[in-house]
Amino acid sequence: MTLAATAHPGFLSPTGIEIAFVLVGIATLGAALIAVTTKQLVHAALWLVVALGGLAVEYLLLTAEFIAWVQVLIYVGSVVVLLLFGLMLTKAPIGRSPDADSGNRWAALGVAVAAAAALVWVVVDAFRTTWIDLDGPAHGSTEATGAFLFRHWVLPFEALSVLLLAALVGAIVLSRKRSKEQS
List own/partner pairs for 44-51 with CB under 8 A and 24 or more apart: 45/80, 45/83, 45/84, 45/87, 48/80, 48/83, 49/76, 49/80
Q: Which of 181, 183, 178 is nearest to 90 (CA)?
A: 178
β-partners of residue 40 are 96
- pLDDT at residue 122 greater than cutoff 70: yes
Task: Work out the average pLDDT over 119-133.
Answer: 82
Task: Work out the average pLDDT over 111-128.
Answer: 89
From CA 5, how far away is CA 69, in angstroms rounded?
A: 43
For the chain, percent of residues with pLDDT exceeding 70:
78
Q: Which residue has the higher pLDDT, 119 or 5?
A: 119
Sign of CA dihedral 113, 114, 120, 124: positive
User: pTM of whole model > 0.85?
Assistant: no
Q: What is the DSSP string of 14-75?
A: PPHHHHHHHHHHHHHHHHHHHHHH-SBHHHHHHHHHHHHHHHHHHHHHTT-HHHHHHIIIII
Q: Which of 39, 13, 34, 135 is nearest to 94 (CA)?
A: 39
- Reported as a single tens digit per residue, the pLDDT across 40-65 is 878 888 899 999 999 999 999 988 88
Q: How confident is the model at residue 23 (pLDDT cuts 50, 70, 90)?
A: very high
